[in-house]
Amino acid sequence: MASLLGPLSSLLSQTSIDDHEEVLKAANAALGKSAKDVDAQHVKVVALLKLDRFDEALRTLEHGGDALKQRARLEWAYALYKAGQPGKAAEIAGQVGGGQSDRGMRHVEAQASYRHEDFERAAALFAQLASADAHVPDEDMDLRINTGAVNAQMEWSGLGHLVKEKKPQREDLQAFETAYNAACGSIARDELGQAEVLLRRSRDLCDALEDLSEEDKHAELLPIIVQQIYVLVRQGRTEEAAQLASGIAVKDITESSTHHIADINITAASSELTNPYLTHRIIHKSPETITPDRPFAYQSAAMHRNNYALDLLSQKYSGIIFSTTSAVAKHPSPTLDANVNSLGALNAAAHARNQAGKDAIKAILPVLDKRPTDVGLVLVAVQLYVFAGNHGAAIVLLESLFSRLQQSTNPADLEVRYAPGLVGTMVSLYSARGQTSKSRAELAKAAKYWRQRSTSTTSSPIADRALAHLYKSAGAALLASHDSQDQQLASEIFSDLRAQDKDDRYTNAGLVAALAFAESSSITDEQLSSLTPVDRLTAGIDVSALEEAGVAKAPAPTPSATATKRAAPSAADVSKKPTKIRKTKMPKEFDPNKKMDLERWLPLKDRSYYRPKGGKKAKAKQAMLTQGGVVDDSRENSRPGTPGVVAGEVVKASGGGQQKNKKKKGKGGKW
């Protein structure tokens, strides 16, 4: 029969079977007669992929051997990608022509690279596919959707400087998928207001689709609503989030990772679950157990932090200390990895047993002695000192960390030392104590380090938003200095910033101000035209009214945070009516109508109305015992002054003279 009808591929080409189950049955029947028929094996693999039976497709490929894998390499890579092995799938797809010759293989490689969190490679592949001519209908829209997803993931993973399009384009508002991806990118940049608008737009576009069934619309809307709940919770609008969460069924979400994220967001929006042990039971789950669509790295890190927070509320301190200490020990210290540093903060909270204030500081300091370069632990201690109002101790603690890092021979430690976040923390502490010169010096050192590091490498001098903010802060601080070297450094910093973004008004204004101090002749008309015109700045100012009002008096200077003395009260403050004292602050038997004694602060014997008991003898004795007071030398019986004191000047007493009535040793009393 098989020899008459020919191979299975010829049979299928002569028929019109639309049911993949029927195709699978025909392939199995052919393999029953010839188990090594590569054509039948290939047809079976395609049928299994169409039926979403990816594990069976992989087993068929393994059973077919190298011959089948070489022939069905595209299907093999796609099956690996869908079965949860994106790394191997990207490797296999990239071997065919380097990912350049076959368009289908490049699509699979790009998708697998995205899922493997190799976002730079995925972005490059999607850019190549978009630039080449396509012969597949609607491929341009698919590529735009995938590119938007990659850009959002790059924002989340700290590669936002590689994203070219930050603001949503008009094309992004034409499909619910592109609007959703644009919203995810806004969330990653903490633009929550814009994200909410985009999510509402995505929901409206999805509801308006006519070619989707109600069941498909419901499946597409669930992830959008879950993301919208997250945005509302982040904005503090928990009531709206809870109301939105009450209208969705989490059980209808098919993706396991999205299902668990929905449970977390709904629990965060709910005000009913106040029992931490019950909450722990509902949403505590390890990200590694979520298969096959495992969460991304940043999602897994957030889930781990949620689990630790639930453990803290459940008072599982010993377990948290053990697990976080083990996790931190696996990474080099110090580090700028936010996930590792957050583990250090959780470790500190477990040692403090959820306490705050001085008790927490006492519990954390011994741990800090063992791990002095743990950035997360140091920042927790600094924050506790700030809450306690002890900015000086916080500065000393952070300065000691900087000193250790500067003495290290590892270049990575210097990168941590001059990290924009740590530098900003130190500058904030200095500013709180009014130490402007130290703030300026710290910013200048950080700016010099990063500029030297950028010139020694091929990377861009300003490759990150945080570093750009550091440069701006340093430039503004150096402009306030009267040192010519500081002014020159400020002009160089703003020149670098302007080379990266010519449309930044802050940078243009800073550059003109710096050049005005350093070399005003180098200011160009283009730089001046970028500034806001003076007429626009003074448009709402009435000069005549200001002249009639006169010159405003400068406000009285306020004492700084480091002042130890209070300023003398003014005449206006003295003339004010005294405030009423609370009864709890008054002494017993206090009579408010009785006039207070003006000499109540003096010792009793120094008051003008003091009269010692005993008459004249007591007065004479009192005069003899006077020390530092006024002595009447006119009286004959007055006691002579202390030797060595002449007219208020202390001099050395002369010795060698004999003393009258000197008592013998052993028989005298006290001198």
DSSP letters of 185-209?
Answer: HHHHTT-HHHHHHHHHHHHHHHHT-
Q: Confirm if 105 and 93 have CB atoms less than 8 A apart.
A: yes
Residue 100 confidence class, pLDDT cut points 50, 70, 90: very low
Provide the pLDDT for residue 221: 92
The pLDDT-based confidence of 648 (bands split at 50, 70, 90) is very low
Q: How confident is the model at residue 576 (pLDDT cuts 50, 70, 90)?
A: low
d(CA 563, CA 540): 39
pLDDT band at 631 (very low <50, low <70, confident <90, very high): low
**567: confidence class by pLDDT, cuts 50, 70, 90:** low
Q: What local confidence, expressed as pLDDT, does residue 113 receive? A: 94
The confidence score (pLDDT) of residue 630 equals 52
pLDDT computed for residue 120 by the predictor: 93
On the question of pLDDT at 644 being above 50, the answer is no
**How far from 164 is each of 169, 174, 459, 668, CA to CA, in Å?**
12, 20, 17, 99
> Residue 246: what pLDDT?
87
CA–CA distance, 626 with 204 (Å, rounded to integer): 94
- Residue with the bigger pLDDT between 619 and 161: it is 161
Whether this prediction's pTM lies above 0.75 is answered by no
* pLDDT at residue number 573: 56
**How far lies 426's CA from each of 76, 400, 410, 437, 480, in Å?**
54, 12, 22, 13, 19
Mean pLDDT computed over 299-306:
89
DSSP H/E element including 650: strand 649-650
Mean pLDDT of the chain: 81
Region 606-610: what's the mean pLDDT? 82
| The pair of three-digit structure tokens given for residue 316, joined into one six-digit string | 């599982």
With tokens 């802050």, the residue in question is 506
pLDDT at 297: 87
pLDDT reported for residue 459: 44
Predicted local distance difference test score (pLDDT) of residue 53 = 92
Q: What crossing angle do the helices spanning 317-329 and 338-352 adopt, rounded to 10°?
A: 150
What is the distance between the alpha carbons of residues 34 and 32, in angstroms, rounded to a whole number? 6
Per-residue pLDDT, 652: 42
Q: Which helix (H) or strand (E) holds 115?
A: helix 103-115
Q: What is the pLDDT of residue 520?
A: 65
Structure tokens at 36: 């090594």
18 or 253: whose pLDDT is higher? Answer: 253
Instruction: For residue range 447-494, list pLDDT tens digits in order.
Output: 999 988 876 553 444 446 778 888 889 888 888 888 888 888 888 888
| Least confident interval from 217-231, 264-278, 550-564 | 550-564
Q: Tell me the percentage of the chain whose pLDDT exceeds 90.
A: 33
Read off the pLDDT band of 619 (50, 70, 90). Answer: low
Most confidently modeled range among 279-288, 621-630, 643-652 = 279-288
User: Which of residues 610 and 572 earns the better pLDDT score?
Assistant: 610
Residues paired with residue 646 on neighbouring β-strands, in sequence order: 649
Expressed in angstroms, the distance from the first to the final Cα of the chain is 138
Give pLDDT, residue 618. Answer: 66
Distance CA 110, CA 142 (A): 12
- Provide mean pLDDT across the span 318-342: 89
Average pLDDT, integer, range 628-643? 48
Position 598 confidence tier, pLDDT thresholds 50, 70, 90: confident
Which pLDDT does position 338 carry in this prediction?
86
Percent of the chain exceeding pLDDT 70 equals 80
- Give, as one character, the DSSP assignment of residue 608: T
CA distances from 120 to 16, 127, 151, 155, 167 (A): 43, 11, 9, 11, 20
What's the confidence (pLDDT) of residue 460? 42
Residues β-bridged to residue 645: 650
Model pLDDT for residues 350-370, shown as the tens digit of each residue:
999 988 888 899 999 999 999
* pLDDT tops 70 at residue 261: yes
More confident position, 642 or 597: 597
Q: Report the pLDDT averaged over residues 403-418.
A: 90
pLDDT bucket at 659, cuts 50 / 70 / 90: very low
The model's confidence at residue 521, banded by pLDDT at 50, 70 and 90, is low
pLDDT confidence tier of residue 626, bands split at 50, 70 and 90: low
Residue with the bigger pLDDT between 261 and 519: it is 261
Q: Is the pLDDT of residue 202 over 70?
A: yes
Please tell me which residue, 572 or 43, carries the higher pLDDT value. 43
pLDDT beyond 90 at 76: yes
- What are the tokens at 169? 């384009």
Least confidently predicted of 254-258, 509-513, 628-632, 658-662: 658-662
Best mean pLDDT range from 150-154, 558-562, 611-615: 150-154
pLDDT bucket at 555, cuts 50 / 70 / 90: low
Mean pLDDT value of segment 541-565: 66
pLDDT of residue 558: 54
Q: Which residue has the higher pLDDT, 180 or 502?
A: 180
| pLDDT range class, residue 418, cuts 50, 70, 90 | very high
661, pLDDT greater than 60: no
Spatial distance between the Cα atoms of 335 and 405, rounded to a whole number of angstroms:
11
Whether residue 322 is predicted with pLDDT greater than 80 in this model: the reply is yes
The pLDDT of residue 41 is above 60: yes
